[in-house]
Amino acid sequence: LQIYAVTPIPDNIDVLQMDRVPDRIKSFYRVNNIRKFRYDRPFHKGPKDKENEFKVEVANKPCLSVKLFKANTVLLFYADTAFQVEVSPLENAIQVVENKNQELRTLISQYQHKQMHGNINLLSMCLNGVIDAAVNGGIARYQEAFFDKDYITKHPGDAEKITQLKELMQEQVHVLGVGLAVHEKFVHPEMRPLHKKLIDQFQMMRSSLYH
């Protein structure tokens, strides 16, 4: 028996791509009326790079399409069809950064609209997790793996995706900046040392990305 956490694949993509649609409405469509799901199985394709595993980390993404089944008074879902998608290391990096940006935006928006207040711990943990990972490697490793001249020369067809990853990383810096401003507003006095640490690490992260 194998149990995996699955990620919903929304059907209504148009709504999610509209800038004028509020994040709260987008959040609804991301997890409601879903019929397709996927889960990730990362693996290394080819010789493992000891210096930077992101260069060869491929994601195998099995996808499931489900149907509703009613057994007496119990509603059940069963897998109707299944297929697999293999994602390249660069595409996997794009999805990882994009998903984290969305997670950050959603959480920050909840605090901005006072849906979550009083307890800032969740935002603290999320910001700390992203910033700390970035300072200790994290998305900076993507720069080493995919923005390197050798990679760009060997993969001319990836130019558009490389640009997309750069934009997502810059977007993450912007989102983190907004998140830290919200954190500054709500953080309790006893958590000020953590906030200062986050600010200092954020400056280091931003400097390394724009270096």
AA identity, residue 102: Q
Tokens of 129: 């997790």
Q: Which residues contact 165 (CB under 8 A, 6 or more apart)?
A: 90, 93, 94, 97, 142, 146
CB distance 164 to 142 below 8 Å: no
**Interval 57-106: pLDDT, tens:** 555 666 667 666 555 555 556 566 666 777 788 888 898 899 899 889 98
The span from the CA of 121 to the CA of 100, in Å, is 18
What average pLDDT does the segment 11-16 reach?
Answer: 75
Task: Give the single-character DSSP code of 114.
Answer: T
What pLDDT, on the 0 to 100 scale, is given for residue 128?
A: 92
pTM of the model: 0.72
Burial class (CB in 10 A: 0-12, 13-18, 19+), 94: buried
Please tell me the predicted confidence (pLDDT) of residue 50.
58
Domain with CATH 1.20.58.740 in the chain: 89-211
- Structure-token match 């969740």, residue found: 122
> How far, in Å, CA of 135 to CA of 130, rounded?
9
The per-residue pLDDT for 54 is 58
Q: How far apart are CA 127 and CA 183, in angstroms?
A: 9
- According to the model, what pLDDT value does residue 125 have? 92
H/E segment holding residue 69: strand 57-71
* Per-residue model confidence as pLDDT tens digits over 136-182: 667 778 888 889 898 899 889 999 999 999 999 999 999 999 999 99
- Choose between 43 and 23: higher pLDDT: 23
Contact partners, residue 59, CB within 8 Å, separation at least 6: 40, 41, 42, 43, 86, 87, 91, 92, 95
What is the pLDDT, as a whole number, of residue 116? 59
Averaged confidence pLDDT in the chain:
80
Three-state secondary-structure class, residue 132: helix
Domain 89-211 architecture: Up-down Bundle (1.20)
